[in-house]
Amino acid sequence: MFLISGSASESIAHELSTITDIKLANIDNYRFPDSELYVRMKESVENEEVIIIQTTYPDEKIIELFLLLDACKRSKAKKITVVIPYFGYARQDKQFKPGEPVSAALLASFISIYANEVITIDIHKQHILDFFSIPAKNLSAVPIIAEYLKSKNIDLVLAPDKGAFENAKKAASILQCEVDYLQKTRIDGSTIKITPKNLAVKGKCVAIVDDIISTGGTMATAIKELKKQEASKVYVACTHGLFAGNAVSKLKQAKCDEIIATDTIHSEFSSVKIASIISNSL
Ligand code: R5P
């Protein structure tokens, strides 16, 4: 059995290898002068079970995953499991307007051609798993995020919108604190509106929990609203920290007390490590 690490998920693969004792395969990975990617497994995986770990973000990591899948298939691996810590394109999970692709479905179908099984972490919408024609399961990082938040003495967990309420409830039950959600309206890709809601947050320590922080617009708007209502501390926590553009400075300007993310996408805010939840599911 081998763990095969894509370049988007190297630290998770190393930790997973340490926890599970599954050997990490040696891989050649470089770019040609014209920037095309070359990968090669330096050991035989014939008749072996392999676990490929690769976040499908940014775009170039998707091609890398496809190359690794093809290499494993051609090398006659017995079973290919793909672990996708952050499944990119999940927010295009339906045709919102005529003429659009369903990007999440396209990715899932390509992966299903080569892999035997797929594991995702906090996939944006559960129904995306149905786009795979192979067994697909989703793991939740919310319990380990909640564990991390335990030392912060959280009084209230908030979801930034109703869609994130189930995860907020899960975190609140671990933290044994109150839970609520905000009313969010998205105006465009980077502008959102949070309808003020009287939450009685004065003097409270609040954690806002979401699956993704992208532009930071959702979280920054929520933080400002809570600080206006005199919350004593506001932490923001997510599974997938994309931190696009000036997201981090937006969150800091909004006076966020700490930005917390997992390492599905590695960043300086990846305080929560997901290797243990993957190892428990293998
Ligand atoms: C949306 O449905 C997601 O759960 C996140 O709330 C969203 O992706 C956050 O985006 P942004 O950081 O750009 O506001």
Domain boundaries, the chain: 2-140, 142-263
Q: In the prediction, which pLDDT does 273 show?
A: 98
Whether 177 and 152 have beta carbons less than 8 Å apart is answered as: no
* Closest Cα to atom 5 of ligand 1: 212
Is the shortest distance between the CB of 192 and ligand 1 below 6 Å?
Answer: yes
Q: Classify the phi-psi angles of 143: left when phi > 0, otherwise alpha if psi is within -120 to 50, otherwise beta.
A: alpha
Give the CA dihedral 278, 280, 206, 195, nearest 10 degrees.
60
Q: Among the options 61, 170, 184, 227, which is catalytic? A: 184
76 annotated active-site: no
CATH topology of domain 2-140: Rossmann fold (3.40.50)
The mean pLDDT of 267-271, rounded to a whole number, is 98
| Distance from C-alpha of 157 to C-alpha of 167, rounded to nearest angstrom | 10
Say what the pLDDT of residue 187 is.
79
pLDDT tens-digit profile of 88-131?
A: 999 999 999 999 999 999 999 999 999 999 999 999 999 999 99
Return the ligand 1 atom nearest residue 215 CA: 13
* pLDDT at residue 197 greater than cutoff 90: no
Distance of CA 115 to the CA centre of its chain: 20
pLDDT of 196 over the 70 cut = no
Give 44 Cα–ligand 1 centroid separation in angstroms: 41
Q: Cα 156–162–165 angle (5° rounding)?
A: 45
Residues 1-60 have pLDDT tens digits of 999 999 999 999 999 999 999 999 999 999 999 999 999 999 999 999 999 999 999 999
CA distance 108 to 116: 12
213 alpha carbon – ligand 1 mean position (Å)? 6
Checking if the pLDDT of 154 tops 80, the result is yes
Q: Is the CB of 160 under 6 A from ligand 1?
A: yes
Neighbours of 236 (CB within 10 A): 28
Tokens 């993704």: give the residue. 212
Pick the CATH number of 142-263 from 3.40.640.10, 3.40.50.2020, 3.40.50.10320, 3.30.930.10: 3.40.50.2020
List helix spans (H) across 40-136.
Answer: 59-74, 103-114
| Max CA pair span of the chain | 61
> For residue 236, is pLDDT > 90?
yes
Q: What is the pLDDT of residue 186?
A: 79
Higher pLDDT, 237 or 161: 237
Nearest ligand 1 atom to alpha carbon 214? 12
Give the model's confidence band at 248: pLDDT under 50 very low, under 70 low, under 90 confident, else very high: very high
pLDDT in tens, 70-83: 999 999 999 999 99
Question: What are the structure tokens assigned to 226, written together?
Answer: 């809570």
Find how far residue 80's CA is from the centre of its chain: 21
The pLDDT tens digits for 208-220 are 999 999 999 999 9
What is the distance between the alpha carbons of residues 251 and 104, in angstroms, rounded to a whole number?
A: 28
Buried/exposed code over 3-28 (b: 16+ C-beta within 10 A; e: otherwise): bbbbbbbeebbebbbeebebebbebe
Nearest CA among 64, 129, 121, 55 for reference residue 93: 129
Q: 281 burial class (0-12, 13-18, 19+ CB within 10 angstroms)? A: exposed
